[in-house]
Amino acid sequence: MNYLFKIQDLTKIYNGKKVLDIPSLTLEEGKIYAFLGTNGAGKTTLLSVLNLLLPPSTGRILYKGLDIWNSGKDKISVRREMTMVTQNPYLFDTTVENNVAYGLRIRNFPRSEIKDRITQCLAKVALSGFEKRRAHELSGGEIQRVAIARALAIEPKVLFLDEPTANVDIQTISILNDLLEELNSQLRISIMVATHDIDQAYGLAHKVFILEDGRII
């Protein structure tokens, strides 16, 4: 088994309250995992710790064998293999193509490659032809898909999504689920989804973990 993440004795404490308490968890590479729970269960915090956005209070997180919080290795190089789409993704008040290109430009990709990746990523999320559309003209579901296209443009190894279907309609939920399955099966992207949607969790993921009060039950 090629593991992606291995968690050992992980805790996260906010203001004296333990919001994560996970003694052990192993996540395989190339899988879709869903973390299912109500608001406040610890789903977003767990994704943020795995994604190097929040440090754990105690414990170890191994990423492909590397102790990412205690190794002293440059975390930016590890972080660049991952990306996260939040529940309410922020788009810049500009065109769709400029939003998708953002991560590529700050990495100094050539202009021709940026253009090609924009076209490819918008096609993947069924938004071909939206390049010149302004962010404020988009529906909630379209915003979510542009955010995913922006994430895909940098070719991540791991894609984190926090409540991706919370503010979208049924049709968009179906589009998003099909897209995530395709990204996993064709590009072998490992996907971690935090959700309160039982149907999405069990319909999409290879394995579902239920969180309650920061613990996996």
Q: Domain check: are 25 and 77 in the same one?
A: yes
Q: Find where tokens 């939920």 sit.
A: 173
Q: Domain check: are 192 and 148 in the same one?
A: no
Q: Is 80 exposed, middle or buried (0-12, 13-18, 19+ CB in 10 A)?
A: middle
- Give me 134's structure tokens: 């302004």
168: three-class secondary structure by DSSP: coil
Q: Is 151 exposed, middle or buried (0-12, 13-18, 19+ CB in 10 A)?
A: buried
Q: Report pLDDT for 113.
A: 96
Q: Report pLDDT for 174.
A: 87
The last residue of one of the domains, among 155, 171, 191, is: 155
Backbone angles phi, psi at 33, to 5 degrees: -120, 140
Q: Report pLDDT for 132.
A: 98
Q: Residue 134: pLDDT band by 50, 70, 90 thresholds?
A: very high
The last residue of one of the domains, among 155, 181, 205, is: 155
- The percent of residues in the chain predicted with pLDDT above 70, rounded, is 100
Reported pTM = 0.91
Q: Domain check: are 148 and 176 in the same one?
A: no
Top pLDDT among 79 and 119 is at 119
Q: What is the mean pLDDT of residues 150-177?
A: 89
Q: Report pLDDT for 168.
A: 79
* Whether pLDDT at 22 is above 70: yes
